[in-house]
Amino acid sequence: MKSYDVAVIGSGPGGYVAAIRCAQLGMKTAIIEKYATLGGTCLNVGCIPSKALLDSSHHYEDAVKHFEEHGIEIPGDVKVNLEKMIARKQAVVDQTTGGIDFLMKKNNIDVFHGLGTFKDKTTITVKGNDSTETEVVAKHTIIATGSKPSTLPFIDIDKERIITSTEALKLKEIPKHLIIIGGGVIGLELGQVYKRLGAEVTVVEYMDRIIPTMDAGLSKELNKVFKKAKFKMQVSHKVKSVERKGDEVIVKADNKKGEEVEFKGDYCLVSVGRSPYTDGLNAEAAGIRLDDIGRVEVNAHLQTSAENIYAIGDVVKGAMLAHKAEEEGVFVAETIAGQKPHIDYNLIPGVVYTWPEVASVGKTEEQLKEAGIDYKTGQFPMRALGRSRASMDLDGFVKILADKTTDEILGVHMIGARAADMIAEAVVAMEYRASAEDVSRMSHAHPTFTEAIKEAALAATDDRALHV
Ligand code: FAD
Ligand code: NAD
């Protein structure tokens, strides 16, 4: 039996960051992880590997389609070596998860590999893969057990041809025709990887637009770019069956008119969201309540129905994002230490790492309309920037929504090259409750993509963008 101030169950971005912050605050900390490597979904089968493949496939696409225009000639054909591409991705993952081992050691955090199961409010049994059992006793526990891919009741995920993101990150061949169910973040990011590598890609989306939770202007622009790249986008389609016949996968869906449509491919990626993961946790033994969709129920302090146990990240309500999980990890560690931390959930940015990248923070136009808030809009096209012309990244725009009376920025929505990095400026501005005029009066280096933010702010302030 080993005793700790804090035990963290799950080593994803929520769990490992919580453990580091607890250790920094002087608490004796343990982390329990059922997999052999640390880092959770994000580092092993999520954020990091998907971005590694997005980067590799982007290089390939540039080599095939754009190098020539830049005056770069490659003698002979440019070819994809998928095995090597996947191996590089895995090397990036291994290096990154290895980095978490280092951080645990550096912060004197004890790591237990095995399934963590509550015996009671203060005791967790860790069952190792070698059947050994260790009891960890902790004054406080942080549940950070994350999520797993969701599916539809009639789909049998065989992990060979009918797959989730986990398998899509390690395919042995490039699909001839990849059918993607769900036009959300995973579907579009991984869809773009395989489209660039030569697959035909059909996206079947239930709602009337892709990335339906983001500002409608972003969906429209991304849809335009994807259609130009010859993605087959099927929105307003309700999938009703997915069947495998040998190496073929047949997806049937009802379209907007209620007619049955059939799509035939060799792989089908099911990316219809993720579900909270609490299997094997035995939450009830500690008096922890789950909500009606299986998430660990928490109050405003992220405290569960057991007062010494907290929960964070994908396993609780809110956006399923690595940086949201990290913020919550720090929040809970500081709460346990007696501090009074704060998270503004409205200012957690959302990013889709397609190219062009899509990034948002704050309220969308749809949300402002629904809330009856009077707002003004400033929008600036990326193609009007010198930097965009230099790199030939002409698609997209920056849109700033500001309060009509006070000029306070209420939402920033952008699509374009490096939007994932540019959104940080909008987060800083909104954290300090900047007005559109504040941002419009700040110097932005020239030539940069960020000039579109200044120009959109000028457009929102007084309809006086300079370069359109
Ligand atoms: P997780 O990362 O899911 O970690 C939970 C950990 O707990 C796992 O390691 C699991 O093995 C362990 N565990 C579970 N139960 C137990 C138990 N009883 N005992 C011991 N261990 C247990 N988010 C972004 O912000 N940016 C991105 O670019 C991004 N890309 C993504 C791409 C893909 C393909 C996917 C699938 C997800 C992506 N996400 C991205 C989402 C991101 O991965 C999650 O939001 C994030 O990992 C959640 O962190 P977490 O700490 O809550 O849980
Ligand atoms: P998602 O919620 O982003 O998208 C799921 C999509 O599937 C939605 O557009 C939804 O309307 C659609 N859908 C649902 N049921 C359907 C049906 N029956 N038929 C057709 N379409 C249907 O979920 P995801 O793409 O699976 O990603 C899961 C989670 O992982 C997300 O919460 C996301 O935040 C996170 N993630 C984040 C990133 C990132 O930050 N860049 C990348 C990948 C994943």
Burial 60-97 (b: 16+ CB within 10 A, else e): bbbebeeeeeeeeeeeeeeebebeebbeebeebbeebb
Q: Which CATH superfamily is domain 2-148+275-343 in?
A: FAD/NAD(P)-binding domain (3.50.50.60)
**Cα gap 91→205, rounded to integer Å:** 33
Residue 105, helix vs strand vs coil: helix
Q: Which of 145, 295, 427 to mutate to test the pocket of ligand 1 (most atoms within 8 A of CB)?
A: 145
| H or E, element range at 370 | helix 365-370
Question: Binding-site residues for FAD, please?
Answer: 51, 116, 145-147, 314, 320-323
Q: Which of 55, 186, 218 to mutate to test the pocket of ligand 2 (most atoms within 8 A of CB)?
A: 186
Phi/psi of residue 305, each to 5°? -70, -10
Are the C-beta atoms of residues 398 and 356 closer than 8 Å to each other?
A: no
Spacing of C-alpha 333 from chain mean position: 23
Check pocket membership of 204 for ligand 2, CB cut-off 6 A.
yes
446 is an active site residue: yes
Candidate list 66, 70, 301, 446, residue with the active-site label: 446
Percent of the chain with pLDDT over 70: 100
Position 436 scores a pLDDT of 98
Position 418 scores a pLDDT of 98
Percent of the chain with pLDDT over 90: 98
- Band of residue 131 on the pLDDT scale cut at 50, 70, 90: confident
**Cα gap 336→6, rounded to integer Å:** 9
- Band of residue 133 on the pLDDT scale cut at 50, 70, 90: very high
Position 144 scores a pLDDT of 99
Q: What is the DSSP string of 322-358?
A: HHHHHHHHHHHHHHHTT------GGG--EEE-SSSEE
Check pocket membership of 184 for ligand 1, CB cut-off 6 A.
no
Position 303 scores a pLDDT of 98
Q: What is the distance in A from the centroid of ligand 2 to the CA of 318?
A: 14
Are the C-beta atoms of residues 302 and 332 closer than 8 Å to each other?
A: yes
Query: How many C-alpha atoms does 377 have within 13 Å on its Cβ side?
Result: 15
- Which ligand is nearest the CA of 352, by number? 2
Which residue has the CA at smallest separation from atom 32 of ligand 2? 320
**Cα gap 180→226, rounded to integer Å:** 14
Which residue has the CA at smallest separation from atom 34 of ligand 1? 46
What topology is assigned to 347-462 in CATH?
Answer: Enolase-like; domain 1 (3.30.390)
- Band of residue 462 on the pLDDT scale cut at 50, 70, 90: confident
- Band of residue 231 on the pLDDT scale cut at 50, 70, 90: very high
**Cα gap 157→283, rounded to integer Å:** 27
- Which ligand is nearest the CA of 281, by number? 1
Are the C-beta atoms of residues 46 and 175 closer than 8 Å to each other?
A: no
What topology is assigned to 162-272 in CATH?
Answer: FAD/NAD(P)-binding domain (3.50.50)
pLDDT at residue 160 greater than cutoff 90: yes
pLDDT at residue 49 greater than cutoff 90: yes
Question: Binding-site residues for NAD(+), please?
Answer: 182-189, 205, 273
Q: What is the distance in A from the centroid of ligand 1 to the CA of 315?
A: 9
Q: Which sequence spans correspond to the domains of the chain? A: 2-148+275-343, 162-272, 347-462
Cα–Cα distances in Å, from 251 out to 68, 190, 263? 38, 19, 5
Question: Binding-site residues, please?
Answer: 51, 116, 145-147, 182-189, 205, 273, 314, 320-323
Q: Which of 47, 92, 169 to mutate to test the pocket of ligand 1 (most atoms within 8 A of CB)?
A: 47
Check pocket membership of 166 for ligand 2, CB cut-off 6 A.
no
CB neighbour list of residue 182: distance below 8 Å, 6 or more residues apart: 203, 204, 205, 206, 270, 271, 272, 273
162-272: same fold as 2-148+275-343? Answer: yes
Phi/psi of residue 243, each to 5°? -130, 140
Are the C-beta atoms of residues 198 and 176 closer than 8 Å to each other?
A: no
pLDDT at residue 463 greater than cutoff 90: no
Check pocket membership of 30 for ligand 1, CB cut-off 6 A.
no
Check pocket membership of 358 for ligand 2, CB cut-off 6 A.
no
Q: What is the distance in A from the centroid of ligand 2 to the CA of 148?
A: 12
Q: Residue 278 corresponds to which tokens in the numbers above?
A: 């609490």
Check pocket membership of 352 for ligand 2, CB cut-off 6 A.
yes
10 Å CB burial of residue 453 (0-12, 13-18, 19+) is buried
Average pLDDT over residues 366-383: 98
Mean pLDDT for all residues in the chain: 97
Are the C-beta atoms of residues 430 and 409 closer than 8 Å to each other?
A: yes
pLDDT at residue 167 greater than cutoff 90: yes
Burial 344-379 (b: 16+ CB within 10 A, else e): eeeebbbbbbbbbbbbbbbbbbeebeeeeeebbbbb
pLDDT at residue 62 greater than cutoff 90: yes
Position 130 scores a pLDDT of 84
User: How are beta strands 147-149 and 260-265 bridged, if at all?
Assistant: unpaired
Indicate the length of the chain as a whole number: 468
- Per DSSP (E only), the strands in 277-404 are 309-311, 350-352, 357-362, 375-381, 397-403
